[in-house]
Structure 1
Amino acid sequence: MMTGGGEASALALLAAVVWGTSDFCGGIVTRRTTPAIVLMIAHGLGLLALLAALAIHPSGLPTRHTVVFGLIAGLAGGVGLLALYRGLSLGSMGLVAALSGVLAAAVPVLVSFFTEARPSLLKLAGFAVAGVAIWLIAYAPGTEAHPHGLGLGVLAGVCFGLLLLFLHIAGRDSALWALTFSRVGSVGCALALGIWTFLRRRPKVSGVRWAAIIPLAATAGLLDTSGNLLYTVSSLMGRLDVAAVLSSLYPAGTILLAVWLLRERATRSQSFGMALAIVAVVMISA
């Protein structure tokens, strides 16, 4: 029979799987149009799904605590996405992705270290192994480091870490309302990105193949929202640091799907990173 901590760990790992699949779908669809359009569709439909869930399962009125921290979580996530996409565009894709992935897990771990009971030595070692695994999985050599790109990778990682932290804080009163206001914040950032992109580049919206874009963008958005829910529930059921680290292993899911469906080859470092991820899961969940 699975314990409460075991259930929380399982939900965090499921969040990693769902987020990894979402990123895979998002990566495919962004090859066909601008990230701004993808974000607006994905996050907009995610918000509609959450509003529908609230209509079916009313959760009362949200508290001020949930509204404020939920919006902060969404804004942090939106700014993180803006920084990530900009950093990736500067040619430092491997380092930017690796930095953002490791820091996203590190921020909640540091906060949890001072606000919750100290984790066991085995869990601490597991966090370290997971950090190395995330780096190896996300890092793809072959691009030159751009100073601004690295700075944006750090900003993206810190923002994603704040997203995980504030989702946990906002969800204490109502996870569903917390996710809804978080998505409101991220939709606002997506709209700002869309307007900025249109004014700067004026993409030809008329030439967009909507039939090929909307299904994948919608899938990415709904999966991302589901991953947020799974992570938030996991962090509330168990420890914040455990939920954050285990769910941050999501790049492994993206890589495995690319290998399976796109016939891409994982590098030796990525394969070793995924093996380390399994070791980290065992250590953290023990």
Structure 2
Amino acid sequence: MTAGAAHAAGLGLAAAAIWGAADFAGGLAARRAGPSLVVLLAHGSSIFLLLLAVFLWHIPLPSEHLASIALLSGAANGLALLCFYEALALDTMGLPAAVAGVLTAVLPVLVSMVQEGRPTLGQMSGFALAVVAIWLIAVTPGGKPHPRGLGLAVLAGIGFGIQLTLLHIAGRGGVVWAMTWSRIAGALVAGAALPFAKRAVRGSSRGLAAVVALAVVAGIFDTGGNVCYTFASLMGRLDIAAVLASLYPAGTILLAALLLRERTTRRQTVGMGLALAAVALIAA
């Protein structure tokens, strides 16, 4: 494996870890307030940091074409997050995270195969193993999934896949500006959905402060994960970056087990082992 491929694989795994933490924080916030408010706060806080980076580093604007693609990726991400956070709030975090994680990588893998050719047999085996690992890690046997939550997770996974594909293209004109335009579009989507929110913030001003804090953490981590993924997809193959980053449910489930005491099972332990094997095959 070349040094560039190794760095790309490392960034893909970093994206998975960071996204796992972001989804955990965002899912908790969505249990206290509507997903639209959570996404608006999350994207709004990250927009400020991104614009600050653009100003300090004097980053030139990308072309209008790439800026438009970044806006579309952000709109897809905003819609996907609205669905995903609602799914996490309706159900245990496991099943929605598993469904979304598996579906997230599908479109980028297909696009990469068309543009970059088929990956090696070992990498394809790693992709398949990663799907099995995500499912074992995230799905708890015997649970009764919320039908609406399951449907929202499917929509979220499709939306995330569109976002990753478009962000890979927009990132060619500069990752920071691609993320800035993407966050702006996501915030606009969340703001448009806010008047239709059915769930207000629960509790007093202390509850609102908790929602704001969790949403800001989710926004910063989600943006960081997107930056790592975009660099990974530009340095290596799109499909490898997307599949490795799609292991993010592992981080969400581990945090849920540690902080919410959602019990882990032997299946999840096996899934963690398979995830490590998948990483080895994909990165070889």
Same fold at TM > 0.5: yes
Give matches, 1:216-227, under 5 Å: 216-227=214-225
Length, aligned pairs only: 284
Matched, 1:76 2:76: yes
Runs of 4+ in 1 over 6 A off after TM superposition: none
Deviation, structure 1 residue 108: 0.4
Please, which of 252, 263, 266 is the counterpart of residue 265 of structure 1? 263
Any idea what SS the aligned residue of 1:264 has?
coil
C-alpha spacing 1:176/1:261, structure 2 compared with 1 (3 Å): same
Give matches, 1:1-286, under 5 Å: 3-87=3-87, 94-144=94-144, 149-197=149-197, 200=198, 207=205, 209-286=207-284
Find the aligned partners of 1:251 and 1:27 in 2 and give their Cα distance.
Answer: 12
C-alpha spacing 1:83/1:28, structure 2 compared with 1 (3 Å): closer
C-alpha spacing 1:148/1:42, structure 2 compared with 1 (3 Å): closer
Any idea what SS the aligned residue of 1:214 has?
helix
Gaps (5+ residues) in structure 1?
none
Deviations 1:179-202 (A, max 9, x none): 1111111111211232211xx456
Deviations 1:196-217 (A, max 9, x none): 11xx456579656333333322
C-alpha spacing 1:92/1:29, structure 2 compared with 1 (3 Å): closer
Find the aligned partners of 2:134 and 2:18 in 1 and give their Cα distance.
Answer: 16
Gaps (5+ residues) in structure 2?
none
2:28/2:89 contact within 8 Å kept: no
- 2:256 aligned partner, one-letter code: A
Find the aligned partners of 2:280 and 2:144 in 1 and give their Cα distance.
Answer: 35
Q: Which moved more, 1:202-211 or 1:266-275?
A: 202-211
CA RMSD of aligned residues (A): 2.4
Q: Which moved more, 1:233-242 or 1:64-73?
A: 64-73
Deviations 1:9-65 (A, max 9, x none): 001111111111112222333333333322221111011111111011122122112
C-alpha spacing 1:13/1:261, structure 2 compared with 1 (3 Å): same
Deviations 1:241-267 (A, max 9, x none): 000000111111122223334443212
Identical-residue share of aligned pairs (%): 51
Q: Which moved more, 1:109-118 or 1:257-266?
A: 257-266
Find the aligned partners of 2:55 and 2:199 in 1 and give their Cα distance.
Answer: 39
- 1:119 aligned partner, one-letter code: P
Find the aligned partners of 1:261 and 1:212 in 2 and give their Cα distance.
Answer: 16
